[in-house]
Amino acid sequence: MIEKRAGIKEIAELAGVSTATVSRVLNGNIKVNPELSKKVMAVAESLGYQPSPAARYMRSKKSGLLGIVVPNLSLPYFSDIVNGAIDKAREYDQLMVVGTVDNNTSTEKKYLKKLSGNMLDGLIHCPVSAAPLQDEPDILNIPIVIAGRRKVIEGVPHISTDEENAGYLAARYLLNLGRRKIGYLAGFWEYPPFRNSHELISAVDSQLSGSYSSLDRLRGYRRALGELDLELDANKMVFCGFDTDSGYYASRELISRLEEIDALMVPNCLVARGVFRFLHEQEIAVPRDISIVTMDDMGMGELLAVPITAIVHDMYHVGVEAVIQLNRIIEEKAARDETIGVDLRIRQSTSRKI
């Protein structure tokens, strides 16, 4: 049986005062007699009284509720952000309302508008791609922090991992192994705003960079190549999603071009699993024939058929920092962008070229 939560009526009866007096005390009205106020608060505490979010909002204009919107919760990349945000919000005595939009920008926009119309003190947004907020003044009227992307909305704090350095570390390591013909699977949630790989390369330094992790990673890849006087090769790039089937079909497309490939950079471990399946079917050995690095370990890199060399992101820390900066905005303090570092974890999917 669920225990009924104490309310104002119960407090009034035990304290021997009117419900109006209890309401004034709980709302911090200084006109109430101090001794009477002390008595009411003692009764409320003994009953374990907790004001509803609505009552809290009416009193302080703060509900104690934060929102977070992510593309989905099936990937550790986003679930780790959410877990970090929830844990940190608890330290501020706040609750987190979580929304997932099934990797769809149209659903994302509708969800954001609904959340912004509720009693949220602030919102953390992990965009599917470029955040659909620029022309939505109602949404931007509440405190907001962007997580997992950089430079999406001007004047809004962004908490992200160093995706450019991720691309650089992955490519530099493969180059150090003597791998010079590196393929690149560019991951996107929805079909990208590029007709081909040449347009993708052209967009590396555009305003779109920051909205798409694949562009930031590609910039790091280009930097590593430049140190050896090499250039990006559009023929060795294929668009893909972030799931296993995408990895299978993207690697099949790349290999069918008859381009010589001795290494491959892939978006995450799910994509890598599909790549492994296709390469196994073609009797292409990993790491001897093609060495592979995934740009997101997802906590499962050691569990793949070949334990995979991976870039490791601390997305939990992203969630924690997002709540810190969001509360700075709520408290009308200066907030700032934060970039969380990444690490390279070497496993059996890479080897020196013979």
d(CA 342, CA 344): 7
| Sheet bearing 263-266, strands edge to edge | 237-240, 182-187, 263-266, 291-294, 309-313, 342-345
Q: Per residue in 88-113, pLDDT tens?
A: 999 999 999 998 888 787 788 887 77
pLDDT of residue 28: 58
Asked whether the beta carbons of 152 and 108 are under 8 A apart, the reply is no
Q: Which residues have C-beta within 8 Å of that of residue 46, sequence separation ≥ 6?
A: none
Whole-angstrom distance, CA of residue 55 vs CA of residue 75: 36
DSSP code, position 301 = G
Quote the pLDDT of residue 230.
Answer: 96
Provide DSSP, 26-85.
HTT-TTS-HHHHHHHHHHHHHTT----HHHHHHHHS--SEEEEEES-SSSHHHHHHHHHH
Cis ω for the linkage preceding 287 (within 30 of 0) = yes
Distance CA 285, CA 291 (A): 9
For residue 157, what are the CA distances in angstroms to 26, 140, 149? 35, 12, 10
What Å distances lie between residue 185 and 61, 92, 157, 197, 314, CA to CA?
Answer: 47, 40, 29, 10, 22
Q: What is the pLDDT of residue 133?
A: 55
What are the residue ranges in the chain where pLDDT is below 70?
1-7, 26-32, 49-61, 117-118, 129-140
Pull the structure tokens for residue 336. Answer: 């700032």
| Beta-carbon count within 10 A of 334 CB | 8
What pLDDT was estimated at residue 170? 98
Q: What is the pTM of this model?
A: 0.81
pLDDT at residue 50, rounded to an integer: 63
What is the set of domains in the chain, with CATH numbers? 8-50 (1.10.260.40), 65-161+315-342 (3.40.50.2300), 163-312 (3.40.50.2300)
- What confidence score (pLDDT) does residue 239 get? 97
Which pLDDT score, from 0 to 100, does residue 128 have?
A: 82
With a CB cutoff of 8 Å and minimum separation 6, the contacts of 277 are 244, 247, 248
Give every CB contact of residue 233 below 8 A, 6+ residues apart in sequence: 259
